[in-house]
Amino acid sequence: MDIDIEKLAIVHYPHPALRKRCETIEKFDEQLAAIAKRMLEIMYAGKGVGLAAPQVGLALRLIVLNPTGEEHDGRIYVNPAIRDMQGNVEAEEGCLSLPGINVNVRRAQRCRIVAQDLQGNPIEHEGSDLLCRIWQHETDHLNGVMIVDRMGPTDRIATRKTLRALEDQFGSKAAG
């Protein structure tokens, strides 16, 4: 796969990349590390706490995140899977691919993530609250699921105009 890493940028709803189920990563090389590094840069520039590869137009099972905002706390997960979900809590979420939209989403309060690092070594962590929420949100992206799919009827009505504007904007770019 030949990817111009410097041209990677956030894609916005309803870009088709956001609805694809991503492919398992089998090649752990310098290009993968460069993609992950660039994704972290894009996430920080967008003032986000997480970013999944489909959000930059790549159908790869790769997520990056930083739950604390501390410079040393950037995290990279390759081929992540969520396990052992416990509890249930509703909280507001936003998404870099859905600018201007914040909705309440019900998620597990505690969970475990099983993944690989950039060298292909297995990693496993347990988390709760915000960290657990980020894992779930970003892993949803890898399966073509977005917060618009998880929001309730009230948020659906409240975001209708913003979603329509994003759809119109995308349509204009695709046509032009």
Instruction: Tell me which residue range forms the domain holding 79.
Output: 5-175
pLDDT exceeds 90 at position 71 = no
- Model confidence at 1, pLDDT cuts 50, 70, 90, reads low
Whether residue 14 has a cis bond before it, omega within 30° of 0: yes
pTM beyond 0.85: yes
When divided into structural domains, the chain yields a total of 1
Q: Could you confirm whether 167 is annotated as catalytic?
A: no
Q: What is the mean pLDDT of residues 28-54?
A: 97
Which one from 6, 71, 93, 138 is the annotated catalytic residue? Answer: 138
pLDDT exceeds 80 at position 46 = yes
At 172 the pLDDT is: 86
Task: Detail the DSSP E strand segments found in the chain.
Answer: 50-52, 62-65, 75-86, 89-94, 102-107, 110-116, 122-128
pLDDT exceeds 80 at position 176 = no
Residues 171 and 63: their CA atoms lie apart, in Å, by 27
CATH number for the domain spanning 55: value is 3.90.45.10
| Torsion angle in degrees (nearest 10) through CA of 39, 24, 18, 3 | 50
Q: What is the mean pLDDT of residues 49-69?
A: 97
